[in-house]
Amino acid sequence: MVRGAMRSAALRLAGNTLRSRTSSSSAPPSSLPLSSGTTEERREEVPACPTLNGRNGPKHRPSSLTTWAVAAKSGWQRRCPSVLSVSPSPRTVSPLAMAVRRPWRGSAVPSSPAARYSQRPCALPVRWAAAAASRAAFLLLLLVAAAGRAGVSAAGVPAAGVPEVHSLRGSWRLGNGNGSVVLRGEVPGCVHTALHRAGLIQDPYYRFNDVMYRWISLDNWTYSRTFRTPFDFRKWQKVNLVFEGVDTVAQILINNVTLGRTDNMFNRYGFDITSVIKEVNFIEVHFLSAISYAAEQNRCHKGYNIPPACPPPVQKGECHANFIRKEQCSFSWDWGPSFPTQGIWKDVRIEAYNHYHLIYFSLTSFFVKSTQKWRLEIEAIFDVVSSKPVVGLVTVNIPKLQTQQTFNVTLQPGEGSIVLLVNINKSFAVEAWWPNGHGKQTGYNMTTTFIMEAGYQIEKFSKIWQDFMFACALYPTDQNYLESVGAEVTHQVRRLKSHPSIILWSGNNENEAAIASNWFSIPYADRGVYIKDYVMLYVKNIREIVLAEDKSRPFVASSPTNGLESVKEGWVSQNPYDTHYGDTHFYDYSIDCWNWAAYPKTRFASEYGFQSWPSFSTIKKVSSTEDWSYTSNFSLHRQHHENGNDQMLQQIGYHFKLPQSTDPIKKFKDMIYLTQYLFMCLLTKVMQAQCVKTETEFYRFSQSEIIKGEGHTMGALYWQLNDIWQAPSWASLEYGGKWKLLHYFAQNFFAPLLPVAYEDKGVLYIYGVSDLHVDHKLTLRVIVYTWSSLEPVCILSKGGVTVKAQSAVPIYKESINDFLERCQNCTRKSCVVTFCLMGEDGLQSPTNHHFLSSLKDAVGLKKTQLSASVSQQDDIYIFDLHTTAITPFVSLDVGSIKGRFSENGFLMTEKKKVVMFYPWEPTSIEELEESLTLTSLVDTV
């Protein structure tokens, strides 16, 4: 399932991996014109990769441009950065130089297997690890900022290459097709947000408004504004109007002159307005309804259908999303509403320049095995408006590595690129840039200076698995469509390839599986037509562009896929879900999710999950009292996954008692609570938690085993990270950012050191799972409680347990019967097992636990007196909890107060426990006490 929201967020590769998905990134920074001899200091930050976060058959979700942070045991390493800031030293700039400066990050070639294995928290499946091995390691480069510096000639003419930039952000006039609705609309923005801000519509997410406001997307809207040119345009050889993002189909006019049209949300559009710009200008953007455009494109496609025509009825969506290059989920998805928006969704600006202008700048690193040297490939793409070639010198300097090289270059008229290959001084060791918690982060400042004939200086300071936007559908391959896709892919690769967190490019999400499994009931005789289209789009077009633009990363045509095996079978394998190859998506809601044996022993579990509802405080904002029933029209309308509510009830019923309250509102709150909890270390109260916890832990302890050719699971990535509206979904973050219990659990089930328990044929096994860089001798501590007492029945301790680095090893084995005999008065139904690993210097795993029976069958569980007092220490609030009995799945909720707890959904086995609350906005002890709701499993039955 790829999503327009952030695609899952917990990438777990043998320990600590992570995958995060972003639907868009900011545009490349514009150059800032400065006078000769000026001094400037810039400080910019790059958003961090998240540290946590993350069906066989069709799932419905759109792909989005996605960032994965992954690394391989082979030594192929990339970094998931924390927030970075760089403060370059002030310097006086010569008007005769153009410099590109970036901090440069690298990783040393591992000298031993132990060193190689320590290069994670993110690992790749075997086939990708092999590809990684061929590349050794990477210099990790992070583009942080760009600043242009220029002089002015003696004649007062702006220096060559330094652009004059003027943003057209702000308030625009917005009107519908017949002029009956006129208002102000902010740019960047869209029609829906403008109407809402103006008070002309309610919250689009309120109740059934996603359907009620369908008229907005069916209308044709126009953005327009007047602006005064803030510079003397006659002194510039070229003036461009640049749109970083237009959503989606529009005609662009300035001063009543049509500049061109747009039809791709993911492309950047530039229009030459040199001959039409005036001192005062009028700009118009006439949008065509995306729904109408997609329907017309489908009608014009002759010969054969391109499925699916429409989304499933349960999604209440629009048809033919695959005929428009627009965020696919905006036509609806199984986790989101249908809002096919119109608007200018990114920056729009005027750029003016002379002679030449830098459009893209990127830097890629390679380790050359034959010479045992690091090499950098620097690419700069220019628009040269000079009528003759522009020549000059380029000097690349990395002082810390005593590396400096100078090149003669020539910029030809038109758009072209300069590619420079820089060899790093072999006598200096390149220090590794490690992900957070795995070592030092070493940066290298690099300055690339272009000394050109006309002369000016720009400085750049540099100190994911990336899916293209195709998912769960087949797509047309007519010439116009392919040309639009080609421009999109070229732009996105150039924009993103300098980001170290991108580990590979993926052509689509689940489209190979859609053909192989025949999701759309295509007659066998027609199958070849669709395979031909598939190869044309993803292999002969997207793949060729990606590999030409970025030689540093591999490309896979789809996910899931069998990799080279799929290639051998003509790019569409018979079974893309084959666990012996590549990656696997797994969704089966009919199984008992506590049964680990139901899950695939795959190389890489790149998508899996279970649904839950968001908290009551989140639902309450967009609903009314009559909606607060699990079977209400609102609950059914909000559920976009077929039979999703029933599937959640079925999973809950396997192991938990359903709420028995006769109060319908309390019953609904209880139901939401039950469906909210998700896995890891301490089970949560329910289904989502327990299911994902069980599945994730299975993948983690399978990383070091191969049984009948299956296993060696080096990746686990749950779907999904965040919600885009208030509804049931697979997300671990609710709309607005509130943590579900799953997100709290992820802190533990992706811990670098974790004990995991499971049963097989009457035997209890405990595995030690480690992502740490060295072996550790630890003590396994097992504590057994009866449900009726806070006093342990027995405590088992096993010292001298060796947990190997970067592996999962069995550390305890005993038959359940012998285990229960060891702890007198214990039965499966009356006892619960907790366990943890402890070592020297404070090393300790989270405390995990194992249920010996379903909790609906537990004997001795009783109502408890659960209470909390709140105090404050600086900006943190402290919740002191007290209980009179063992309390499973304790949940703290403070309603609409924004923030997070240090932990939640835990098994409370002691009388007292301290939990911290970290607010995201000002609050008080009184407000928290008034808003606090304490819930546990025993409160819902």
Helix axes 687-701, 741-749, angle to 10 degrees: 20
Beta bridge partners, 49, equal none
Measuring CA to CA, how many Å separate 17 from each of 89, 277, 599, 600, 746? Answer: 35, 51, 20, 19, 11
Residue 861, CB half-sphere, CA atoms under 13 Å: how many? 23
- Of the two residues 380 and 660, the one the predictor is more confident about is 380
pLDDT band at 160 (very low <50, low <70, confident <90, very high): low
Measuring CA to CA, how many Å separate 742 from each of 300, 466, 690, 903? Answer: 46, 24, 9, 11
Say how far apart CA 651 and CA 714 lie, in whole Å: 27
* Residue 686: per-residue pLDDT: 74
Sign of CA dihedral 439, 441, 442, 448: positive
Say how far apart CA 691 and CA 619 lie, in whole Å: 23
- CA-only gyration radius of the chain, Å: 29
Neighbours of 428 (CB within 10 A): 14
- Of the two residues 937 and 747, the one the predictor is more confident about is 747
Find out whether 807 and 747 touch, Cβ atoms under 8 Å.
no
Sign of CA dihedral 744, 747, 748, 750: positive
Find out whether 246 and 345 touch, Cβ atoms under 8 Å.
yes
Residue 404, CB half-sphere, CA atoms under 13 Å: how many? 8
pLDDT band at 363 (very low <50, low <70, confident <90, very high): confident
Find the range with the poorest average confidence among 326-330, 613-617, 639-643, 905-909: 613-617
* Residue 146: per-residue pLDDT: 29
Say how far apart CA 695 and CA 702 lie, in whole Å: 11
* Residue 139: per-residue pLDDT: 30
Helix axes 644-655, 687-701, angle to 10 degrees: 80
Find out whether 330 and 191 touch, Cβ atoms under 8 Å.
no
926 is catalytic: no
Could you tell me where the beta strands, DSSP code E, fall in 150-246? 164-167, 170-175, 182-187, 222-228, 238-243
Q: Identify the burial level of 409 via C-beta atoms within 10 angstroms of its C-beta, where 0-12 means exposed, 13-18 middle and 19 or more buried.
A: middle
Q: By C-alpha distance, which of 23, 80, 4, 16 is closest to 47? A: 80
Q: What is the model's pTM?
A: 0.82
Give percent above pLDDT 90 in the chain. Answer: 65
Q: For 830-853, what is each residue's pLDDT tens digit? A: 999 999 999 988 899 999 999 999
Say how far apart CA 624 and CA 469 lie, in whole Å: 36
Buried b (16+ CB within 10 A) or exposed e, 244-277: bbbbbbbebbbeeeebeebbbbbbbbebebeebb
Q: For 438-470, what is each residue's pLDDT tens digit? A: 778 777 888 888 888 755 554 544 335 668 899
Measuring CA to CA, how many Å separate 64 from each of 190, 395, 466, 545? Answer: 19, 38, 8, 18
Find out whether 857 and 901 touch, Cβ atoms under 8 Å.
no
Which one of the listed residues 488, 607, 695, 734 is annotated catalytic?
607
Q: By C-alpha distance, which of 285, 253, 175 is closest to 219? A: 175
Measuring CA to CA, how many Å separate 31 from each of 101, 114, 231, 235, 419? Answer: 13, 45, 16, 18, 21
Angular region, 170: left φ>0, alpha ψ -120 to 50, beta rest: left
Give percent above pLDDT 70 in the chain. Answer: 78
Cis peptide before 125 (omega within 30 of 0): no
Find the range with the poorest average confidence among 80-84, 193-197, 822-826: 80-84
929 is catalytic: no
Find out whether 22 and 67 touch, Cβ atoms under 8 Å.
yes
Average pLDDT in the chain: 81
**Average pLDDT, stretch 144-173?**
61
Find the range with the poorest average confidence among 168-172, 290-294, 705-709: 705-709
Q: By C-alpha distance, which of 22, 63, 124 is closest to 467? A: 63
**Average pLDDT, stretch 351-367?**
90
Phi, then psi, of 231 in degrees rounded to 5: -150, 165
**What stretch of H or E contains 528?**
helix 527-534
Say how far apart CA 754 and CA 770 lie, in whole Å: 7
* Residue 166: per-residue pLDDT: 97
pLDDT band at 241 (very low <50, low <70, confident <90, very high): very high
Beta bridge partners, 880, equal 869, 914
Q: What angle do CA 540, 543, 547 make, to 5 degrees?
A: 125
Q: For 799-813, what is each residue's pLDDT tens digit? A: 999 999 999 999 999
Q: What is the DSSP letter of 727?
A: S
In the predicted structure, residue 89 carries a pLDDT above the cut 90: no
Helix residue spans in 322-379 (DSSP H): none
Q: By C-alpha distance, which of 443, 445, 450, 444 is closest to 380? A: 450
Say how far apart CA 544 and CA 809 lie, in whole Å: 42
* Residue 444: per-residue pLDDT: 84
In the predicted structure, residue 666 carries a pLDDT above the cut 60: yes
Q: By C-alpha distance, which of 852, 854, 826 is closest to 762? A: 852
Could you tell me where the beta strands, DSSP code E, fall in 319-441? 331-333, 336-338, 348-353, 356-368, 373-384, 390-398, 403-411, 414-423
Measuring CA to CA, how many Å separate 688 from each of 87, 96, 592, 732? Answer: 44, 62, 12, 9
pLDDT band at 101 (very low <50, low <70, confident <90, very high): very low
Q: By C-alpha distance, which of 340, 294, 301 is closest to 320? A: 294
Q: For 566-619, what is each residue's pLDDT tens digit? A: 999 999 999 999 999 999 999 999 999 999 999 999 999 999 999 999 888 899
Which amino acid is residue 213, in one-letter code? Answer: Y
Say how far apart CA 872 and CA 925 lie, in whole Å: 7
Helix residue spans in 371-496 (DSSP H): 479-496
C-alpha 644: how far from its chain's center?
Answer: 24
Q: Provide the 3-class DSSP secondary structure of residue 730.
A: coil
- Give 72-124 as a DSSP string: -TTS--------EEE-PPP-B--TT-EEEEEEEEB-PPP-SHHHHHTS-SS--
In the predicted structure, residue 74 carries a pLDDT above the cut 80: no
3 state SS for 845-882: CCCEEEECCCHHHCCCCCCCCCEEEEEEECCEEEEEEE
Tokens, residue 811: 């550390």
Tokens, residue 247: 């959503």
Which one of the listed residues 244, 510, 695, 734 is annotated catalytic?
510
* Residue 659: per-residue pLDDT: 67
- Give 246-260 as a DSSP string: -BS-EEEEETTEEEE
Q: What angle do CA 129, 131, 136 make, to 5 degrees?
A: 85
Sign of CA dihedral 93, 95, 96, 98: positive
Place of tokens 């300097």: 397
Phi, then psi, of 104 in degrees rounded to 5: -120, 130
Q: What is the DSSP letter of 536?
A: I
Q: Identify the burial level of 279 via C-beta atoms within 10 angstroms of its C-beta, where 0-12 means exposed, 13-18 middle and 19 or more buried.
A: exposed
Strands of 356-368's sheet, edge to edge?
A: 356-368, 373-384, 414-423
